[in-house]
């Protein structure tokens, strides 16, 4: 049985996954006082609780790398800021490379990563085996080692966000599916759900990986690129140390 809907809210976040819970937490932290999160199931029940938990700077674009660097800095101070641990361990990501084409691609990526200050190194097969003695490196040309990479518990992370968001005054309503959005006069979305409607909420966040860029009236047509769902992130390294 879901909780009764408030009559109104300044900000409505749809979905209490890692992203929605993080947004709610950060809004509360910055002083937002009337934030509601509508979650059809329970906090973290979506893809967040099913993620492997990998955290790495080893990506191919500047944006991804810089995001990860900021993420790693956050996970390093997570317990201080959130008051609970999230099982964050920097045991490193080790990619073992067995063909020239892939090695060339990694060299390009590593050059970009290092130019942005990330600690990522191309090492020889013997150095890789020194890190992971059980590793078979007979066919390896090289390996790429990112010692600051690691993993954390996605469920611990989302639960911590939700707990701190609630402590900051955010109302998180579980068992509350949003069934539609209706724009009135081009703004002021209403949010009907199974047991009610939540009027007046200027800021909205759509849940899950298929969220698309919203059009703003001033920005004109959404560029074709922004209409596509973002590409799925890789589930993790081919061979990871310690996992």
Ligand X SMILES: Cc1cc2nc3c(=O)[nH]c(=O)nc-3n(C[C@H](O)[C@H](O)[C@H](O)COP(=O)(O)OP(=O)(O)OC[C@H]3O[C@@H](n4cnc5c(N)ncnc54)[C@H](O)[C@@H]3O)c2cc1C
For ligand X (CB under 6 A), the number of binding residues is: 31
State the minimum distance, in angstroms, from the CB of residue 153 to ligand X: 7
DSSP 10: S
Of 41, 45, 13, residue with least CA distance to 166: 13
152 binds ligand X (CB under 6 A): yes
The residue whose two tokens read 């979506």 is: 46
Q: Contacts with ligand X in 198-217 (CB under 6 A)?
A: 207-209
State the minimum distance, in angstroms, from the CB of residue 181 to ligand X: 10
Q: Which is nearer to ligand X, 54 or 189 (CB)?
A: 54
State the minimum distance, in angstroms, from the CB of residue 28 to ligand X: 17
143 binds ligand X (CB under 6 A): no
State the minimum distance, in angstroms, from the CB of residue 117 to ligand X: 22
Q: How many whole angstroms separate alpha carbon 116 and alpha carbon 195?
A: 50
Binding test (CB under 6 A) with ligand X, winner from 154, 168, 189, 237: 154
Tell me the three state secondary structure of residue 182. strand
17 binds ligand X (CB under 6 A): yes
State the minimum distance, in angstroms, from the CB of residue 125 to ligand X: 25
Q: Which is nearer to ligand X, 82 or 142 (CB)?
A: 82
Check if the beta carbon of residue 227 is closer than 8 Å to that of residue 212.
yes
The residue whose two tokens read 């069934």 is: 179
Look at the chain and count its residues: 243
Q: How many whole angstroms separate alpha carbon 174 and alpha carbon 141?
A: 51
68 binds ligand X (CB under 6 A): no
Q: Which is nearer to ligand X, 47 or 69 (CB)?
A: 47
DSSP 202: S
Tell me the three state secondary structure of residue 188. strand
Binding test (CB under 6 A) with ligand X, winner from 51, 82, 118, 170: 51
39 binds ligand X (CB under 6 A): yes
Binding test (CB under 6 A) with ligand X, winner from 40, 122, 144, 149: 40
- Cα distance between the two ends of the chain: 39
Q: How many whole angstroms separate alpha carbon 53 and alpha carbon 50?
A: 9
52 binds ligand X (CB under 6 A): yes
Binding test (CB under 6 A) with ligand X, winner from 5, 11, 12, 15: 15
Of 201, 161, 162, residue with least CA distance to 181: 201
Q: What are phi and psi of 125, to 5 degrees?
A: -60, -40
Q: How many whole angstroms separate alpha carbon 33 and alpha carbon 20?
A: 16
List residues binding ligand X (CB under 6 A).
14-20, 38-41, 45-48, 51-55, 152, 154, 157, 177-178, 207-209, 233, 235-236
């Amino acid at each position: 049985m879901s909780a009764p809907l408030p009559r109104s809210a300044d900000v409505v976040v749809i979905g209490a996954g890692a992203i929605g819970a993080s947004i709610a937490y950060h809004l509360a932290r910055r002083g937002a006082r009337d934030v509601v999160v509508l979650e059809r199931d329970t906090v973290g029940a979506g893809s967040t609780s099913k993620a492997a938990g990998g955290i790495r700077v080893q990506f191919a674009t500047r944006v991804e790398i810089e995001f990860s660097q900021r993420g790693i800095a956050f996970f390093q101070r997570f317990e201080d800021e959130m008051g609970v641990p999230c099982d964050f361990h920097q045991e490193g990501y080790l990619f073992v490379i067995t063909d020239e084409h892939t090695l060339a691609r990694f060299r390009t990526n590593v050059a970009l990563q290092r130019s942005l200050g990330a600690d990522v190194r191309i090492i020889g097969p013997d150095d890789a085996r020194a890190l992971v003695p059980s590793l078979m490196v007979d066919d390896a040309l090289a390996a790429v080692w990112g010692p600051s990479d690691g993993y954390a518990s996605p469920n611990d992370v989302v639960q911590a966000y939700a707990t701190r968001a609630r402590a900051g005054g955010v109302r998180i309503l579980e068992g509350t599916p949003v069934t539609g959005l209706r724009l009135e006069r081009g703004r002021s979305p209403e949010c009907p759900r199974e047991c009610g409607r939540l009027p007046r909420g200027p800021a909205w966040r759509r849940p899950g990986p298929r969220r698309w860029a919203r059009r703003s009236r001033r920005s004109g047509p959404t560029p074709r690129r922004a209409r596509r769902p973002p590409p799925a992130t890789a589930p993790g390294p081919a061979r990871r140390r310690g996992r």
